[in-house]
């Protein structure tokens, strides 16, 4: 009995122990599951925090809970566009616009139709997207979404931009669209983004003009080089290489001054004045590098050029230093990866574009090579004193002053005996045989004796020679016609020509002792 009770007690203890172990295992599993759930929630919250900022092109009405049919169509179109099914999304959006013309989602639906074409890509699709955005601006010009539509039209051309050495049509159109967007919607929240895109586009256009101007400068075509570089300096002051642009302008004018100094067809005075005018132009460009871009990499080159020309070196202001320092700091350095991917990808690299400052919002005033040539001609006229105020007339010499070649004489013309003194007497001799005036008597005290003919009577005209007597060859009683007919018979025969002295190929007969010569 005791054994049996011990067995029962041992079994009960075993059952209790197994149950405790199972309970502990179950508790351990539940705790582990709770930890897993908490970790999952933590990861999900972390992912939500790491999401990108809200995109303006996203659907602002996606969070609105509504069971209206127009809202359901709109959500369905957005879901299809998110999955890349742009044709399905366009069909749903067109259905919404045609079925519910008074819906509160009609503006977003109209704008989203253009978004489907824009995201689909391709030249044809982008052209259709631009047409849709233009229609939206036409139908809803005062809506807040109109600024977004205009911005996307500019983005279409921005995405199609080529490198600076390629076709720049899309870059010019993008610049025009961004300017219109900023001027039409100055209060839009998209203005900062539009201005930065405009800086990027102007960086590409300025780089193109700078490369062309540098090429002309290397070919010593200074008017063309100055025209291109001056356009960049005037239209794109935020260009990352503006200091190199101004240095190029100064070097071009310095080259013109060197050419003038080496010219041999100019007088010394004109050469010096014209050379000084060109050097003044070069100094002006070098000064602007120091005063406008004092923190640029090539500012020391401008200082060295001014010192070499013996010209004073200006000092920049504190405001100019602060402004240019902010521009330089906003530019990102160009790394090796940027250069590598810049070769592979289609569009340009705009890493070096500035991110501060106001971009140019007006059309650039382009400088052409003919204008620079006209400016050079004006400088030459100025150096040669051509085109200035006329010089004062030379004062004539007095009666007792010696005559000069550049001044007329005011000494009166004497018609008779000159006045007493040491002056030079002048006598006007009248025409010969003139009864009005008689020859005046010469002054014995005059330094220059008057010259006059001794006789005023013209010589008699020579009689003409008598004509030879006319001889009539026709005899009396002879018919003139028969005389003309027999004229050929009366021609004299020409004498025979003596050909003995002329050379001939015929063998001549030997005469005298020559007959004995066998040769």
All structural domains of the chain, each given as residue ranges with its CATH number in brackets, are 64-141 (1.25.40)
199: three-class secondary structure by DSSP: helix
CB 286 within 8 A of CB 302: yes
Helix (H) or strand (E) holding 138: helix 123-139
Strand positions, DSSP E, 14-171: none
User: For residue 335, what pLDDT is reported?
Assistant: 73
Angle at 119 between CA 113 and CA 124, to 5 degrees: 80
Name the band, by pLDDT with cuts 50, 70 and 90, for residue 428: very low
Better-predicted residue by pLDDT, 433 or 239 = 239
CB 115 within 8 A of CB 81: yes
User: What's 397's DSSP letter?
Assistant: B
pLDDT greater than 70 at residue 500: no
Per-residue model confidence as pLDDT tens digits over 480-496? 555 555 555 555 555 56
Largest CA distance in the chain: 212
404: three-class secondary structure by DSSP: strand
Phi, psi dihedrals of residue 448, rounded to the nearest 5°: -110, 120
Q: Name the burial class of residue 61, with classes exposed (0-12), middle (13-18) and buried (19+) by CB atoms within 10 angstroms of its CB.
A: middle
Cα–Cα distance measured from residue 287 to residue 289, given in angstroms and rounded to the nearest whole number: 5
pTM of the model: 0.62
CA-to-CA separations, 339 to 334, 353, 497, in angstroms, rounded: 7, 15, 100
pLDDT greater than 80 at residue 334: no
CA-to-CA separations, 343 to 100, 223, 232, 319, 337, in angstroms, rounded: 49, 32, 25, 38, 10
Tokens read off for 269? 């005075």
User: For residue 337, what pLDDT is reported?
Assistant: 73
Per-residue model confidence as pLDDT tens digits over 167-215? 999 999 999 999 999 999 999 999 999 999 999 999 999 999 999 999 9
CB 247 within 8 A of CB 298: yes
Closest CA to 281 of 331, 228, 226: 226
- What is the gyration radius of the CA atoms in the chain, in angstroms? 54
Query: Distance between the two ends of the chain, CA-based, in angstroms?
Result: 185
Give the HSE-up count for residue 4: Cα atoms under 13 Å, Cβ half-sphere: 1
Query: Residue 397: beta bridge partners?
Result: 409
């Amino acid at each position: 009995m005791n054994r049996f009770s011990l067995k029962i007690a041992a079994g009960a203890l075993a059952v209790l122990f197994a149950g405790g172990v199972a309970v502990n295992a179950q508790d351990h599993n539940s705790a582990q599951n709770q930890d897993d759930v908490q970790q999952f929630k933590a990861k999900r919250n972390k992912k939500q925090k790491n999401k990108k900022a809200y995109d303006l092109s996203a659907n602002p009405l996606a969070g609105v809970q509504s069971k209206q049919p127009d809202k359901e169509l709109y959500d369905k179109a957005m879901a299809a566009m998110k999955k890349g099914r742009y044709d399905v999304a366009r069909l749903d959006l067109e259905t919404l616009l045609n079925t519910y013309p008074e819906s509160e989602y009609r503006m977003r639906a109209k704008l989203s139709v253009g978004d489907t074409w824009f995201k689909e890509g391709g030249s044809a699709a982008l052209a259709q997207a631009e047409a849709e955005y233009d229609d939206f601006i036409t139908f809803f010009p005062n809506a807040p979404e109109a600024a977004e539509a205009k911005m996307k039209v500019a983005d279409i051309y921005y995405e199609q931009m080529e490198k600076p050495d390629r076709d720049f049509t899309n870059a010019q159109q993008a610049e025009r669209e961004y300017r219109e967007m900023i001027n039409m919607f100055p209060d839009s929240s998209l203005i900062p983004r539009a201005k930065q895109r405009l800086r990027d586009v102007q960086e590409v256009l300025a780089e193109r003009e700078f490369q062309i101007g540098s090429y002309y400068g290397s070919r010593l075509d200074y008017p063309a080089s100055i025209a291109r570089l001056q356009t960049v300096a005037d239209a794109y002051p935020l260009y990352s290489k503006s200091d190199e642009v101004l240095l190029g302008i100064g070097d071009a004018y310095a080259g013109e001054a060197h050419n003038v100094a080496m010219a041999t067809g100019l007088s010394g005075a004109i050469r010096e004045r014209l050379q000084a005018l060109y050097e003044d132009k070069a100094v002006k460009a070098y000064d602007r590098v120091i005063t406008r871009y004092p923190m640029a990499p090539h500012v020391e080159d401008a200082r060295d050029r001014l010192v070499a020309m013996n010209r004073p070196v200006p000092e920049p202001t504190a405001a100019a230093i602060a402004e240019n320092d902010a521009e330089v700091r906003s530019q990102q350095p160009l790394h090796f990866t940027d250069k590598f991917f810049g070769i592979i990808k289609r569009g340009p690299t705009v890493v070096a574009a500035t991110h501060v400052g106001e971009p140019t919002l007006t059309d650039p005033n382009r400088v052409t090579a003919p204008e620079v040539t006209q400016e050079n001609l004006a400088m030459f006229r100025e150096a040669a004193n051509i085109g200035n105020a006329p010089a004062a007339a030379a004062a004539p010499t007095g009666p007792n002053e010696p005559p000069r070649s550049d001044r007329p004489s005011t000494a009166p013309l004497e018609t008779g005996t000159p006045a007493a003194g040491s002056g030079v007497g002048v006598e006007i001799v009248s025409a010969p045989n003139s009864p009005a005036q008689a020859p005046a008597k010469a002054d014995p005290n005059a330094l220059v004796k008057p010259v006059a003919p001794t006789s005023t009577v013209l010589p008699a005209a020579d009689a003409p020679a008598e004509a030879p007597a006319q001889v009539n060859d026709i005899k009396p009683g002879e018919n003139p016609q028969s005389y003309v007919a027999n004229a050929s018979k009366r021609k004299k025969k020409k004498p025979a020509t003596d050909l003995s002295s002329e050379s001939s190929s015929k063998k001549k007969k030997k005469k005298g002792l020559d007959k004995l010569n066998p040769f």
